[in-house]
Structures are given as C-alpha cells and as structure tokens.
Amino acid sequence: MMTELSYTTGPSSQPSFIELPHTEISSQAPHVPDHAPWMDVSAQISSLGTCMEEFALVHDTRFYSMEERIDQYQTGFTSRFEHFQQRFKHIEERMDQ
C-alpha cells in the first residue's frame, strides 16, 4: 500500500501534512476468468446483437402497425369518397330529370 501526502490546514492555522491511504491497482482483477479476454468481448458483442435484433423487431412491429393504420385510414377514406361520388351522381341524375 502506498501513501499520498495531502496538504491541509490544521486547527492552529498551521499547515500540516497528513498521509492518505492509497491502494495500488494490480494489473489483474481480483476475479480472473478461466477463459480468454476476447471471449468476454465476444459475449458482449453477441448480447449487443441480440439487443439490436429485439429493437429491430419492436421497430418493425411499430412500423407495420403504423402501416396497417394508414392502410385502414386509406381504405375508410376511399370507401367514403366512393359513397359521396355515388350520392353526388344520384343527386345530379335527379336534377337532370
């Protein structure tokens, strides 16, 4: 364990130095896995890929849901438009009589 000096002002307004504990970071983590480090990265990449697939699936579902709503709106609009066309045609025919 190493120590680090820190400058402080004591109660008598005299500067003093106190020693702060400083732990040295070892080159290896306390828990060393039984496999190569690249396997951890591979697992993270795989997990990220899974998350991206899930996100894409949700995004696609929302897209198709929106597409279905647009289709329903368009179908309803077209149906009403055709209905109004028939009514106008019928009114015109009655006016021509």
What would the mean pLDDT of 43-56 be, rounded to a whole number? 78
47/70 Cα distance (integer angstroms): 34
> Domain residues of the chain, as ranges?
50-97
18 closest CA partner among 8, 31, 33? 8
Contacts of 16 (CB under 8 A, 6+ apart): 8, 9, 10
Q: Are 37 and 27 in contact (CB under 8 A)?
A: no
For residue 9, pLDDT beyond 70: no
pLDDT tens digit sequence for 71-85: 888 999 999 999 999
Does the predicted TM-score (pTM) go above 0.75? Answer: no
**Range ranked top by mean pLDDT from 9-18, 68-77, 80-89:** 80-89
